[in-house]
Amino acid sequence: MDAIARYLDEHRDRFLEDLKAVLRIPSVSAQPVHHPDTRRCADHLAEHLRGLGMKRVATLETGGHPVVYAEWLEAPDRPTVLLYGHYDVQPPEPLHLWQTPPFEPTVRDGKLYARGAVDDKGQVQMHLAAIEAHLRVNGKLPLNLKLLIEGEEEVGSVHLEEFIRAHRGMLDADVIVVSDTAMAGPDQPALTYALRGLLFGQIEVVGPARDLHSGHFGGAVANAANALCAIIAALKDGDGRITVPGFYDRVRPITEQDREARRLLPFDEAAFIGEAGAPAPFGERGFTTLERTTVRPTLDVNGMWSGYIGDGEKTVLPSFAAAKVSMRLVPDQDPVELAPRFEAYVGKLAPAGVTARVMHMRGTPPFLTAVDHPMLGAARRALGRVWKKPAVMIREGGSIPVMTIFQQTHGLPSILMGFGLDDDQVHAPNEKFSLTSFYGGIHSAACLYEEIAQG
C-alpha cells in the first residue's frame, strides 16, 4: 500500500486538475438548456475511464440523461464492488451570490469552489484517482469493480430503476459503494447507514377564471394566493406535526437506546444552526435538532408563485397560485402510499371558491441498512488507516434514490462512505469541497478496495 499512497501523493495536483476539468462542464440535469452539456459530461467521464484502462466503458442510453458504465473484472475469486456516483449537478442559481462563477472551479483557502465540487463530482473523482493508483502501481485492482455514474440523481433518478432492472445481471455485485454523503466533522470520518426518503409535488390553486380588479371584485370572490397560503398553513399544526391523515402511521418510534446513541455523536448544534445562518433552531416539538434532521419526517415548501411580483403595485386578485412542496420520509413511510393521501387531503383543505390539485407527485423511499454487516467492517478499517479518529455511524437527512432501488433489485449490502462537510453549501451558491476531504477521500477509497478484497 505504501507504493499506492506514494503514487497518490505524487499525483495530487493532477487529480485536482482532473476534477476541475469535470467541474467546468455545466451538467445541470434539471435545465433543458444544459442537456447537451450533461451528455458531454458523460462522454468526458467515459473518455477518462478508458484512459485509466477500465473495460467495457460505455455511455448507455436511458429515457433521459445517459448512464456511464465501466468495469474491471480480472480478479477471479475476489469480491465485486459496484461503485455508484452521479455526474449531474443542481442548478447554480442565484448566480449573483457566487464569489467566483459556478463552472469556473477556483481554489481559495484550501477549498475548491464550484457547483458539483462535493455533490458529487468531487467524490466520484476521488474513486477514479484511487482506481488509477491501483492500476498504475500494480497493473491491476485488488478486486472486481463495476462503475455506474448516472446523470439524473438531482432530479430524482427518474429512469434509473428501469435501467437497473433492464441490466440486472450486468450490475450484479457483492456490495455497493457510494460516496455522496458527509463526514461528521472535518477530521471525523463517518459511515452513513440511513437516508431519508422523499415525496415531492406541486400544489396548484385556481380561483376566478382570470386575474381581477381587487377593488371591483375584492371581497366577493376567493383569491388563489390567499387560498394556497391557507392550505399550506393547515398542513402542519402548532407543534410542527404534519396533519396529513395517516402520515405518521408507519414512522418507527425512537427508542431510548437510539436516542442515547445519537446524543453521544459529535454534533455541535450551535455550529450547525450558525452554519445555516438561521437565528434559532426551529422544528417539531419534542425532538432534538439531530433527530429533526434524521429520524423525523418533514414537510416544506421549496418555492411558490402567484399574482404580481414586479415593480410597484398592482391591485389584483390572482386567479392562480402554485407551490412546490416536498416531504422527507423516514422508515417505514412509503411514498406510494402517502401520495394519494396527500392529494386527497389538499383537495379537502381547499377553501370554498377555489379548486386545488396536486401535480407531478414522485418520490423515493427511505433507506436503512444494518450497522454491523462485514462490508462495513472493511470500510471502518479503511477509514481507520487514513484518519486519526475511528469512523462513527450516522444517519443523514438527504436522499439517494439508488440506495433503495438496489436494496430492492439486488439486495446488496451498502457502504455509504462520504466526505462532505456541513459548511460545503451543497445545492447553494459557493458550493465547495475541502481539499483535505478530497485527498483523504482518495486515500480512503484506495484502502477500501484493499480491505474489501481481504474480506
Residues making contact with ligand BES (CB under 6 A)? 119-120, 153-154, 156, 180-182, 198, 364, 396, 398-401
Q: Looking only at residues 98 through 157 of this chain, which bind Mn ion when binding is defined by CB under 5 A?
A: 119-120
The residue among 206 and 400 lying less far from ligand BES, judged by its C-beta, is: 400
CB of 88 to Mn ion, least distance (A): 9
Distance CA 107, CA 439 (A): 14
Ranked by CB distance to ligand BES, the top (closest) residue is 398
Give the cell for residue 379: 470500510
CB of 180 to Mn ion, least distance (A): 4
CB of 390 to ligand BES, least distance (A): 21
Residue 105 interacting entry, from ligand BES, Mn ion, none, C-beta within 5 to 8 Å by type: none
Residue 220: Cβ-neighbour burial (10 angstroms; 0-12, 13-18, 19+): exposed
Distance CA 69, CA 64 (A): 15
Of 102-110, 180-188, 429-437, 441-449, the segment contacting Mn ion by CB under 5 A is: 180-188
Of 17-25, 178-186, 230-238, 383-391, the segment contacting Mn ion by CB under 5 A is: 178-186
Residue 396 interacting entry, from Mn ion, ligand BES, none, C-beta within 5 to 8 Å by type: ligand BES
The residue among 365 and 398 lying less far from Mn ion, judged by its C-beta, is: 398
Distance CA 281, CA 252 (A): 24
CB of 116 to ligand BES, least distance (A): 10
User: Is 431 among the residues that bind Mn ion (CB under 5 A)?
Assistant: no
CB of 9 to ligand BES, least distance (A): 28
Distance CA 39, CA 43 (A): 6
Residue 181 interacting entry, from ligand BES, Mn ion, none, C-beta within 5 to 8 Å by type: ligand BES
The residue among 132 and 153 lying less far from ligand BES, judged by its C-beta, is: 153
The residue among 116 and 413 lying less far from ligand BES, judged by its C-beta, is: 116
Residues 441, 433 contacting (CB under 8 angstroms):
no
Residue 363 interacting entry, from Mn ion, ligand BES, none, C-beta within 5 to 8 Å by type: none
The residue among 156 and 185 lying less far from ligand BES, judged by its C-beta, is: 156
CB of 42 to ligand BES, least distance (A): 17
The residue among 59 and 192 lying less far from Mn ion, judged by its C-beta, is: 192
Give the cell for residue 191: 459511515
Of 108-116, 128-136, 173-181, 234-242, the segment contacting Mn ion by CB under 5 A is: 173-181
Find cell 458504465 and name the residue. 69
Terminal-to-terminal C-alpha distance of the chain:
16
Cα-based distances in Å from 69 to 139, 398, 412: 21, 25, 18
The residue among 153 and 343 lying less far from ligand BES, judged by its C-beta, is: 153
CB of 419 to ligand BES, least distance (A): 11
Find out whether the peptide bond into 120 is cis, omega within 30 degrees of 0: yes
CB of 22 to Mn ion, least distance (A): 14
CB of 425 to Mn ion, least distance (A): 12
Distance CA 433, CA 436 (A): 9
Find out whether the peptide bond into 332 is cis, omega within 30 degrees of 0: yes
Residues 44, 21 contacting (CB under 8 angstroms):
yes
Q: State phi, psi for 241 to the nearest 5 degrees.
A: -90, 145
CB of 418 to ligand BES, least distance (A): 7
The residue among 22 and 228 lying less far from Mn ion, judged by its C-beta, is: 22
Distance CA 62, CA 42 (A): 12
How many residues does the structure list for the chain?
455
Distance CA 177, CA 412 (A): 10
Q: How many residues bind Mn ion (CB under 5 A)?
A: 3
Residues 152, 59 contacting (CB under 8 angstroms):
no
User: Is 180 among the residues that bind Mn ion (CB under 5 A)?
Assistant: yes
Residue 401 interacting entry, from Mn ion, ligand BES, none, C-beta within 5 to 8 Å by type: ligand BES
| Amino acid in position 406 | F
Give the cell for residue 19: 476534477
The residue among 223 and 294 lying less far from Mn ion, judged by its C-beta, is: 294
Cα-based distances in Å from 160 to 30, 60, 64, 79, 178: 15, 11, 9, 24, 15
Q: Which residue in 43, 90, 48 sits closest to 68, CA to CA?
A: 43
Query: Could you list the residues that contact Mn ion (CB under 5 A)?
Result: 119-120, 180
